Amino acid sequence: MTYSDIDKRKTAFIFELDKVIYPEKDYLFQIYYLFASAIEYTDLIDAKVATDLMVSTYLEEGNEVVFDRVKEKLGVNEKYRKNFQHLLLTAKLPLKLLVYRNVLDLLQEIVVDRKKIFIVTNGNPQQQLNKIRQIEWNGLEQYLTCYFTEESRPKPETDAVEQLMNEHSLNRRDILMIGATVSDSLCAEAVGIDYTDVNVFLASN
């Protein structure tokens, strides 16, 4: 699927951030590298071993238990949990986050067609804003309007979508939501707007 396949009557597009605009792991893996480097310096724990463990834990169990695993298996002191959590929220990354190529093409075509782009994202607002600021937008940042659902109620609740519809005088038929999770699809269904999974774009040549 490409932009040309989308109903031309759509005038606004809502995107989630993680795993839709960019690969979430690109953010998290850089955090793991930074944290591992810090504990290598302070506690002489091998940074590569720690990074590899955090990456494999993320892939197998998710980010929520990453610190627990390095604590259990490498003896990382509990006092560093706050440091890890702070990095997740505020870290300055070594490398910019890159938008999926096909999604970047889609965003550029939306802008050229003078239609609206919204990011409606779940998650900690401070962390999500930190990610947004470190994405290489290729000049698209000026065309984005962002809503952080935690400031009202996270998706699948519809508060943020209804808010943007009211603030930008949009009708349901005007909008296409592009997401990657059940929460995204349920939110779109509940508010009565069309929905497409991002993978249909990522699979395009």
Taking only the tens place, the pLDDT of each residue in 52-91 is 999 999 999 999 999 999 999 999 999 999 999 999 999 9
Count of other CB atoms within 10 angstroms of residue 121: 27
Low-confidence residues of the chain: pLDDT under 50: none
The predicted pLDDT at position 205 comes to 54
Question: Which DSSP category does 91 fall into?
Answer: P
The predicted pLDDT at position 204 comes to 65
Compute the distance between CA of residue 103 and CA of residue 2 in angstroms, rounded to an integer: 9
Domain boundaries, the chain: 3-22+99-202, 25-90
Compute the distance between CA of residue 64 and CA of residue 4 in angstroms, rounded to an integer: 39
The predicted pLDDT at position 107 comes to 97
Does the pTM of the predicted model rise above 0.75? Answer: yes
The predicted pLDDT at position 1 comes to 86
3-22+99-202: which CATH architecture?
3-Layer(aba) Sandwich (3.40)
Under a CB-based contact definition with an 8 Å cutoff, are residues 173 and 9 in contact? Answer: yes
Amino acid at 185: S
